[in-house]
Amino acid sequence: MATETRRHGGKVVQSPLGVSVSLWLVPLSLCALCLLGVLAADGPKISAARNGTIRGRVELRRVVAPAERRPTVSDLGAPIARDLPDVLRSVVYLESAPRGAFETSEGGHAVMDQRNETFVPHVLAITTGTTVDFPNSDKFYHNVFSLSKTRPFDLGRYAAGNSRPVRFDRPGIVRVFCEIHSHMNAFILVFGHPFFAMTDAEGRYRIENAPPGTYGVIAWNEGTSSASKPVTVPDGGVAEMDFTIR
Amino acid sequence: MNVWSTTLGLALLSVASARAQTLPSEPIAVADGRVTIGGDVSATMGSSDPGFFDYTDYEHSALRMLRVDVSAAVNGGDHLSLLAELRTENLDSVQPYALYARIRPWTKRAFDIQVGRVPPTFGAFARRTYANDNPLIGYPLAYQYLTSLRPDALPASTDELLRKRSLGWLTRYSLGNAAADKGVPLVSAFRWDTGVQVHATAGVVNVTGAVTAGTVSNPLFSDDNNGRQVAGRIELRPVSALIVGASVARGPFVAVSAVRAALGDDSRAGEFTQTAWGADVEYSRGYYLLRVETIVSDWRLPIVKTPDLQLALRAVSTSAEGRYKIRPGLYAAARVDYLGFGDVAGSLITEPWDAPVTRVEVGGGYSIQRNLQLKVSYQYNHRDGGVLEQLAHLKAAQLVFWF
């Protein structure tokens, strides 16, 4: 219970996911995600008890419009049609994780495609050690880059059919952009633990294999986070928690 | 002094505001996204330039300028959009830099008609003069350096023309408008022309044609010689890495009032044209970006007193620029530029009608955040002849913000 007191009574962990409001919040977000690791050291231990599930729904009261194309005043003709990013997907994650959750990072692969002047998916949630491939599926150049402190990178220009990988070793939020098409942007949320989930088209989420215990849970959408809500995962059971992001 | 205080103030404000989360990072969208508003602000502080190498008219230097552009697009449906851009330099009056309608008759075809004050058809650089598109601070000579020619005033003889070598920033002639004023660059990067433009894309080929009131060196809002310029551009993109373009433009250059002053009547006004040819190549791959552009311009002027002028006045410019990204947010860039002029025969000497200029600019940029960038550059300028200073080592810094 000492952990619970620390987590919910007094020492409030700042939300790390306020980045879409402005990139200047990234350092704060980084600190917050780093704090996750610190808190985890005192969190509930992974034990032989049966893991449980946290599930629920995220309701978006405020839907962020996709970034518009800058006025193409200097273009000789109208720009080509583009796809719009899916800004309705949210990420739900444990604010802190059980001790030991940070020790095993298998480093998988994920893909963020560049297709019809849109990053697909628009939001990617991964664990540290994951390598993300950035294929170019358009007939023209893109130049993927990020100035995020978590993982700055610039992949340069490469043509259709080619891909460049980036490995993410630090937790945090990475804003991804295209230098050539300023309306293209995406988020990569890098977690130091595996207890997170993306919502589906109806806003439902499901975090599996959470060890029994009480955790703070946060929902995030396009840079806006909900308040942390305490959730108790029963031994082998299911905990329900809904969120509203305004 | 007030301008520079304001520049510095705005620069500091932009940094402070960015930290305070108040500046937009995306275009502003209203009316359900049907109206989008973007902006470009650049504050440039540089060395004094007594040789007037970087002046864009007799009181504005490209290396000492606060430029604010606000652009807007109004989407009127699948077939029509209205585009506009307002610009002010050093907080002078606000000018409509662009104002036109874009019509797409068939939504499934990449075919557009643009009517009004339209983007330049000719050349490659003229459509990317915004500070965030320009890897350096200075402009290519062809688009900025002011020759001694004016559309509204004429030298009576080649001797008078030769006496004005290097004085394009502020020159005066004996015929036509007697007031001192700036000359014209080969292609103006500072005004857009008014007329009708047609653009089509088919596969790797982009074709553009336009009929406008002015010429590439002297774009106009209202015509001064009852003549129309015809311009065309073809652009090939055989692979993602390569863009090859060729442009041509021809139109009456000299104002009717100046023709009348030189010849006594204006019946031949249509003969005194500017004809320009351009070729440009852009190649990029990985962290490299290379651009080369050559422009040739011929002006025909009614210079009728002895020694007179029968041939066209020719100017040739070639620039090559490159950019290399060193690491995320940091790049280095360089441009080598030469502007030469054809020989004309005066009473005593045959020499280029304006003083040739060589420019080398090196610099780089650092992105403080995605849409806030600091650039620095050093510029070497050398002019071969003329009455002004022939050498200049200029340094400049520029803060760029866009949304």
CB pair distance less than 8 Å for A141 and B240: yes
- A163 in a structural domain: yes
Same domain, A5 and A97: yes
For B34, nearest residue in chain A (alpha carbons) = A68
Q: How close A154 gets to chain B, by Cα (Å)?
A: 5
Write down the ipTM of this complex.
0.88
Nearest to B151 by CA among B60, B224, B97, B251: B224
The per-residue pLDDT for B204 is 96
Task: Read off the pLDDT band of B9 (50, 70, 90).
Answer: low
Question: Does the pLDDT value for residue A7 go beyond 50?
Answer: no
Residue B246 burial (CB < 10 Å; 0-12/13-18/19+)? Answer: middle
The per-residue pLDDT for B183 is 97
Q: In this prediction, what percent of chain A has a pLDDT beyond 90?
A: 69
For A142, nearest residue in chain B (alpha carbons) = B240
- Is the link from the previous residue into A152 a cis peptide, with omega within 30 of 0? no
Handedness of CA B142, B143, B146, B147 (dihedral sign): positive
Quick: pLDDT tens for B309-352. Answer: 889 999 999 999 999 999 999 999 999 999 999 999 999 999 99
- The Cα–Cα gap between B128 and B282 comes to 13
CB pair distance less than 8 Å for A78 and B33: no
Task: For residue A243, give the H/E element and its range.
Answer: strand A243-245
CATH number at residue A28: 2.60.40.10
Same domain, A100 and A114: no
Q: In this prediction, what percent of chain A has a pLDDT beyond 70?
A: 77
CB pair distance less than 8 Å for B114 and A76: yes
CB pair distance less than 8 Å for B33 and A147: no
Task: Read off the pLDDT band of A222 (50, 70, 90).
Answer: very high
- Cβ-nearest to B21 among A22, A67, A69: A22
Identify the bridge partners of residue B351 per DSSP, sorted by sequence position: B344
Is the Cβ–Cβ distance between B139 and B337 less than 8 Å?
A: no
Region of poorest pLDDT, from A129-133, B54-58, B166-170, B320-324: B54-58
Same domain, A31 and A91: yes
Question: Does the pLDDT value for residue A16 go beyond 80?
Answer: no
Nearest to B63 by CA among B78, B75, B52: B52
Residues 43 through 72 of chain A touching chain B, CB cutoff 8 Å: 65, 67-72
Same domain, A97 and A12: yes
Question: Does the pLDDT value for residue A171 go beyond 80?
Answer: yes
The per-residue pLDDT for A38 is 39
Same domain, A93 and A49: yes
Is the Cβ–Cβ distance between B138 and B149 less than 8 Å?
A: no
- Cβ-nearest to B199 among A77, A80, A175: A77
CB pair distance less than 8 Å for B18 and A158: no
Phi, psi of B120 (to 5 degrees): -65, 135
Question: Does the pLDDT value for residue B165 go beyond 90?
Answer: yes
Residue B145 burial (CB < 10 Å; 0-12/13-18/19+)? Answer: buried
- A73 in a structural domain: no
Region of poorest pLDDT, from A15-19, A89-93, B273-277: A15-19
For chain B, the average pLDDT equals 93
**Which amino acid appears at position B338 of this protein?**
Y
Q: In this prediction, what percent of chain B has a pLDDT beyond 90?
A: 85
Is the Cβ–Cβ distance between A143 and A178 less than 8 Å?
A: yes
The per-residue pLDDT for A154 is 98
The per-residue pLDDT for A106 is 66
Q: Does A180 touch chain B (CB under 8 A)?
A: no
Same domain, A116 and A176: yes
| Residue A32: partners with Cβ closer than 8 Å, 6 or more residues away | A13, A14, A15, A16
- A29 in a structural domain: yes
CB pair distance less than 8 Å for A154 and B329: yes
Question: Does the pLDDT value for residue B258 go beyond 60?
Answer: yes
Question: Does the pLDDT value for residue B162 go beyond 50?
Answer: yes
Same domain, A46 and A92: yes
CB pair distance less than 8 Å for A68 and B27: yes
Distance linking the first and last C-alpha atoms of chain A:
31
Task: Read off the pLDDT band of A41 (50, 70, 90).
Answer: very low
Task: List C-alpha distances in Å: A167 to A155, A235, B295.
Answer: 12, 35, 45
Instruction: Supply the CATH classification number for the domain B2-402.
Output: 2.40.160.10
- The Cα–Cα gap between A239 and A236 comes to 10
- The Cα–Cα gap between B324 and B158 comes to 45
Region of poorest pLDDT, from A12-16, A48-52, B73-77, B376-380: A12-16
Quick: pLDDT tens for B112-145. Answer: 999 999 999 999 999 999 999 999 999 999 999 9
Question: Does the pLDDT value for residue B22 go beyond 70?
Answer: no
Q: Is the model more confident about A173 or about A81?
A: A173
Sheet containing strand A185-191, strands side by side:
A123-127, A185-191, A172-178, A142-146, A153-158
The torsion angle over the Cα atoms of residues B254, B260, B265 and B271, rounded to 10 degrees, is -10
Tell me the average pLDDT across A203-221. 96
Question: Does the pLDDT value for residue B190 go beyond 70?
Answer: yes
- Cβ-nearest to A159 among B33, B121, B240: B240
Same domain, A110 and A217: no
Same domain, A99 and A203: yes
Last residue of a domain, one of A161, A191, A221: A191
Nearest to B253 by CA among B193, B172, B316: B193
- A78 in a structural domain: no
Phi, psi of B30 (to 5 degrees): -130, 170
Is the Cβ–Cβ distance between A241 and A54 less than 8 Å?
A: yes
- A71 in a structural domain: no
Residue identified by tokens 């402005």 is A22
Tell me the average pLDDT across A84-100. 89
- The Cα–Cα gap between B342 and B340 comes to 7
B71 contacts in chain A (CB < 8 Å): 70-71, 73
The torsion angle over the Cα atoms of residues A52, A219, A125 and A166, rounded to 10 degrees, is -140
Q: Does A78 touch chain B (CB under 8 A)?
A: yes
Q: How close A31 gets to chain B, by Cα (Å)?
A: 17
Question: Does the pLDDT value for residue A105 go beyond 80?
Answer: no
- A75 in a structural domain: no
How many structural domains does chain A have? 2
Contacts of A152-155 with C-beta under 8 Å, sequence gap 24+, read: A152/B327, A152/B328, A152/B329, A153/B328, A154/A179, A154/B287, A154/B325, A154/B327, A154/B328, A154/B329
Question: Does the pLDDT value for residue B1 go beyond 70?
Answer: no
The per-residue pLDDT for B58 is 80
Is the Cβ–Cβ distance between B272 and B259 less than 8 Å?
A: yes
Same domain, A168 and A113: yes
Same domain, A2 and A124: no
Is the Cβ–Cβ distance between B365 and B374 less than 8 Å?
A: yes
Tell me the average pLDDT across A78-90. 92
For chain A, the average pLDDT equals 83
Same domain, A100 and A110: no
Domain that holds residue A43: 1-66+84-104+199-246
CB pair distance less than 8 Å for A159 and B239: yes
CATH number at residue A173: 2.60.40.420
- The highest-confidence range among A11-25, A34-48, A203-217, by mean pLDDT, is A203-217
Is the Cβ–Cβ distance between A229 and A15 less than 8 Å?
A: no
- Output the pTM of the full model: 0.87
Region of poorest pLDDT, from A1-10, A232-241, B258-267: A1-10
Q: Are strands A130-135 and A109-111 parallel, antiparallel or unpaired?
A: parallel
Quick: pLDDT tens for B204-235. Answer: 999 999 999 999 999 998 888 889 999 999 99
- A1 in a structural domain: yes
Tell me the average pLDDT across A101-114. 80
What DSSP string describes A165-200?
A: EEEE-S-EEEEEEESS-TT-EEEEEEESSS-EEE--
Handedness of CA B190, B294, B118, B153 (dihedral sign): positive
Q: How close B295 gets to chain A, by Cα (Å)?
A: 20
Q: How many residues does chain A have?
A: 246
Question: Does the pLDDT value for residue B16 go beyond 60?
Answer: no
Measured in whole angstroms, the distance separating CA B151 from the mean position of its chain's CA atoms is 17
Region of poorest pLDDT, from A152-166, B13-27, B287-301: B13-27
